[in-house]
């Protein structure tokens, strides 16, 4: 290669993890560590006129607020850039570049918008900015499409500061790297640097970067990375690991210690609160060639086993895979679960006859249940109380087990329990298995709510139950050890998820209270 530069994306790609809410102190500490390390290019964040802020976040309302909020003094050895997604900011609103402003703009765009990038780049270059071309999901271009676009760039944007291969979904394997490197390097104007931006869904960010380093080219190259790999989903190539490699084998003199210090004091704290890194759902998003947002959306419902998450991802239409569509994802999720439908009229009539004149004790799997087993068993012994366990693995005196989990359902069948189960888990039922039609018992707002608690409350209201005792309805905590008595049921939730779920279930109980059901909390609950 002619020269090699490292571009750190922590403040931008890392911001996708925490909605760019680093806060001023963390923003400044990260920036300072990067400047001290000697990285060549620092990406300050996103420019977004609709969702941007003036300070405290790395999603900015315009380029003007960047030097005002964080970039108050520039290091002359560093190039400072920001990213702009196509359509998120009007290029005409940029001021001309000055000594105090950012130095360059990276413009990310989908294949369908590639021809529109030319005029954007030309205007920004005229205003004095370096311009970097970021064709998202570059792997989606056919050879002819990529060659046609490169030819357009060579003719219309020869002064661009970089053309990128972008592995948006972390799906590129060695043969993909070889194909892309050869196509771009052999056809892109020789004066233009070639960049590579990766995601680590297949744990190949580092090896793909090594492949680019070893590729026989005479042009300048740029490698993107982030501190501790901070980035959406599986994250990115680690800056600290890349810099050490370049020091060892390419004669570079980057300083690693400032990065380790900021990892210790800042990034580790962010990692504890906003997890990123390898996870099976992100592997699946790569395997099914879609944005990891679908995988995390389905997986974080904690309603489907991982293999069924894979099945859902395989059903996403090709044109929907590129950008996450929450409404589409929810519809697809419901369609998937509603494939198995049953007529549950007889089952409801039977349960109504059994429940309507009695109180019902619902035992959810909250951690508090372990401290109240004696009381729960005492209530279960009363003749006027029907006890229903919700996804419970404790050996308590349940009259029924209502489960929405396949693993618990299979074990309950093996144990000979009386079971209530939605049709997405079991289509057929015999004897002690009573199957509810899934579509009839879920709640839908902007999300699909199909937990055992949601189904149980709707069912009991339909059966005419007037008084419900609640045990184990603790509420959700970001401390994973506080959420369930059974470690096998634990799934991590972040602050936003915990708050949303607690608010939803508190309002759900209030709704049924207003509809005439009396609730009694047997164990402590955040829903009281």
Helix axes 292-299, 280-287, angle to 10 degrees: 140
Q: Two tokens at 515?
A: 């509809």
Tens of pLDDT, residue by residue over 85-130, are 999 999 999 999 999 999 999 999 999 999 999 999 999 999 999 9
The strands making up 385-390's β-sheet, listed across from edge to edge, are: 433-436, 419-422, 400-402, 385-390, 359-363, 467-471, 518-521
Q: What is the pLDDT of residue 105?
A: 98
pLDDT band with cut points at 50, 70 and 90 for residue 303: confident
Q: Are 326 and 350 contained in the same domain?
A: no
Q: Which residue in this structure is represented by tokens 């004669």?
A: 251
CA of 197: how far to CAs of 78, 109, 230, 481, in Å?
19, 14, 13, 36
526 burial class (0-12, 13-18, 19+ CB within 10 angstroms)?
middle
pLDDT mean over 279-284 = 92
Structural domain of 420:
345-521
pLDDT band at 300 (very low <50, low <70, confident <90, very high): confident
The answer for residues whose C-beta is within 8 angstroms of residue 425's C-beta and 6 or more apart is 403, 404, 405, 406, 409
pLDDT tier at 488, thresholds 50, 70, 90:
confident
Whether residue 352 is predicted with pLDDT greater than 70 in this model: the reply is yes
| Same domain, yes or no: 68 and 199 | yes
Whether 296 and 252 map to the same domain: the answer is no
Q: Residue 404's CB: how many other CB atoms inside 10 A?
A: 24
In a domain, 527, yes or no: no
Of 337, 362, 381, the one marking the end of a domain is 337
Evaluate whether residue 306 is within a structural domain.
yes
Position 260 scores a pLDDT of 98
Which of 309, 337, 365 is the endpoint of a domain? 337
Same domain, 323 and 181: no
Q: Is residue 196 part of a domain?
A: yes
**What are the angstrom distances between the C-alpha of 48 and each of 12, 21, 93, 302?**
12, 14, 12, 32
Using an 8 Å Cβ cutoff, are 501 and 476 in contact? yes
Average pLDDT over residues 316-329: 95
62 and 177 co-located in one domain: yes
pLDDT band at 494 (very low <50, low <70, confident <90, very high): confident
State residue 147 phi and psi, 5-degree precision: -65, -40
pLDDT per position as a tens digit, 213-231? 999 999 999 999 999 999 9
Please list the residues that pair with 389 across neighbouring strands. Answer: 363, 401
Residues 325 and 212 in one domain: no
d(CA 415, CA 428): 18
The CATH number that applies at residue 452 is 3.90.1480.10
- For 72-81, write each residue's pLDDT tens digit: 999 999 999 9
Query: What separation in angstroms does the CA of 440 have from each of 35, 212, 447, 449, 453?
Result: 58, 54, 16, 12, 14
Res 71: pLDDT: 96
Q: For the chain, give me the number of helices (H) and strands (E)?
A: 18, 18
First to last CA, the chain: 65
- Cα 237 to Cα 168, 227, 295: the distances in Å are 12, 8, 20
In a domain, 373, yes or no: yes
Query: Do residues 455 and 425 share a domain?
Result: yes
Domain membership of residue 528 (yes or no) is: no
Query: Distance between CA 94 and CA 501 in Å, rounded?
Result: 41
Residue 495 has what pLDDT? Answer: 80
Total-model pTM: 0.84
pLDDT, residue 76, reads: 96
Please report the pLDDT score of residue 428 as a whole number.
64
What's the rounded mean pLDDT across residues 194-219? 97
Tokens of 63: 């380029």
DSSP state, 53?
Answer: B
Q: What is the pLDDT of residue 427?
A: 61
How far is Cα of residue 248 from the mean position of the Cα atoms in its chain?
34
pLDDT of residue 2: 81
In a domain, 123, yes or no: yes
| pLDDT tens, position by position, 400-456 | 999 999 888 988 888 889 999 999 998 665 668 999 999 999 999 999 999 999 999
Quick one: 468 and 509 in the same domain?
Answer: yes
Q: If pLDDT is split at 50, 70 and 90, which confidence band does 492 have? A: confident
Same domain for 236 and 324: no
Tokens describing residue 82: 């920001």
The pLDDT > 90 percentage for the chain reads 86
Q: Is pLDDT at 57 greater than 70 in this prediction?
A: yes
Cross-strand bridge partners of residue 15: none
**Domain CATH number, residue 186:** 3.20.20.70
Q: Are residues 67 and 204 in the same domain?
A: yes
**pLDDT at 496 exceeding the cut of 90:** no
Asked whether residue 206 falls in the same domain as residue 303, the answer is no
pLDDT confidence of 486, banded at 50, 70, 90? confident
Quote the strand ranges of 272-398, DSSP E: 359-363, 385-390
Reduced to 3 states, what is the DSSP secondary structure of residue 471? strand
Q: Region 166-175: what's the mean pLDDT?
A: 96
Q: Determine the pLDDT at residue 207.
A: 97
Residue 471 counted as domain residue: yes
Q: What are the φ/ψ torsions at residue 249 (nearest 5 degrees)? A: -120, -10
Q: What's residue 429's pLDDT?
A: 59
- Number of structural domains in the chain: 3
Residues 237 and 360 in one domain: no
Q: Please check the confidence at residue 503 and state whether its pLDDT lies above 90.
A: yes
Question: Comparing 93-107, 195-209, 370-384, which segment has the lowest mean pLDDT?
Answer: 370-384
The answer on pLDDT for 211 being more than 70 is yes
What average pLDDT score do residues 487-492 get? 74
Instruction: Quote the CA–CA distance of 113 and 376 in Å, as a whole number.
Output: 61
What is the average pLDDT across 337-345? 92
Q: What is the mean pLDDT of the chain?
A: 94
């Amino acid at each position: 290669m002619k020269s090699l530069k490292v571009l750190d994306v922590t403040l931008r790609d890392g911001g996708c993890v925490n909605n760019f809410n680093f806060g001023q102190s963390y923003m400044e500490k990260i920036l300072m560590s990067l400047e001290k390390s000697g990285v060549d290019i620092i990406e300050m964040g996103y420019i977004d006129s609709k969702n941007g802020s003036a300070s405290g976040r790395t999603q900015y309302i315009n380029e003007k607020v960047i030097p005002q909020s964080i970039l108050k003094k520039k290091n002359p050895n560093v190039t400072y850039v920001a990213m702009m997604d196509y359509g998120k900011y009007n290029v005409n609103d940029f001021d001309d570049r000055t000594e105090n402003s950012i130095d360059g703009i990276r413009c990310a765009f989908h294949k369908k918008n590639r021809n529109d990038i030319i005029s954007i780049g030309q205007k920004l270059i005229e205003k004095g900015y370096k311009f970097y071309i970021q064709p998202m999901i570059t792997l989606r271009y056919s050879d002819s499409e990529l060659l046609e676009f490169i030819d357009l760039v060579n003719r219309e944007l020869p002064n661009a500061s970089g053309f990128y291969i972008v592995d948006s979904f972390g799906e590129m394997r060695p043969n993909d790297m070889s194909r892309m490197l050869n196509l771009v390097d052999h056809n892109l104007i020789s004066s233009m640097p070639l960049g590579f931006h990766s995601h680590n869904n297949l744990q190949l960010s580092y090896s793909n970067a090594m492949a680019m380093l070893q590729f026989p080219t005479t042009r300048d190259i740029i490698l993107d990375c982030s501190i501790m790999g901070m980035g959406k989903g599986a994250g990115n190539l680690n800056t600290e690991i890349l810099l050490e490699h370049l020091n060892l084998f390419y004669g570079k003199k980057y300083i690693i210690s400032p990065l380790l210090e900021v990892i210790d004091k800042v990034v580790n704290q962010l990692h504890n609160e906003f997890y990123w890194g390898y996870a099976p759902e992100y592997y699946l998003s790569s395997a099914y060639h879609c944005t990891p947002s679908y995988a995390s959306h389905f997986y974080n419902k904690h309603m489907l086993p991982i293999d069924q998450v894979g099945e859902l991802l395989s059903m996403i239409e090709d044109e929907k895979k590129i950008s996450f569509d929450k409404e589409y994802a929810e519809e697809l999720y419901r369609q998937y679960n509603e494939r198995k439908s049953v007529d549950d009229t007889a089952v409801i009539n039977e349960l109504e006859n059994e429940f309507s004149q009695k109180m019902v004790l619902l035992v959810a799997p909250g951690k508090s249940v372990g401290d109240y087993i004696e009381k729960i068993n005492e209530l279960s012994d009363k003749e006027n109380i029907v006890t229903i366990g919700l996804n419970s693995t404790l050996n308590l005196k349940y009259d029924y087990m209502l489960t929405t989990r396949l693993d618990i359902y299979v074990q309950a069948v093996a144990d000979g329990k009386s079971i209530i189960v939605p049709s997405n888990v079991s289509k057929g039922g015999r004897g002690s298995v009573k199957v509810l039609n899934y579509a009839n018992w879920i709640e839908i707002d902007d999300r699909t709510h199909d937990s055992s608690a949601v189904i149980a409350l709707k069912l009991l209201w339909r059966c005419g139950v007037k008084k419900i005792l609640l045990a184990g309805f603790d509420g959700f905590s970001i401390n994973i050890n506080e959420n369930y008595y059974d470690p096998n049921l634990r799934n991590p939730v972040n602050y936003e998820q915990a708050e949303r779920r607690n608010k939803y279930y508190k309002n759900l109980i209030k709704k049924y209270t207003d509809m005439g059901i009396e609730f009694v909390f047997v164990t402590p609950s955040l829903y009281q």
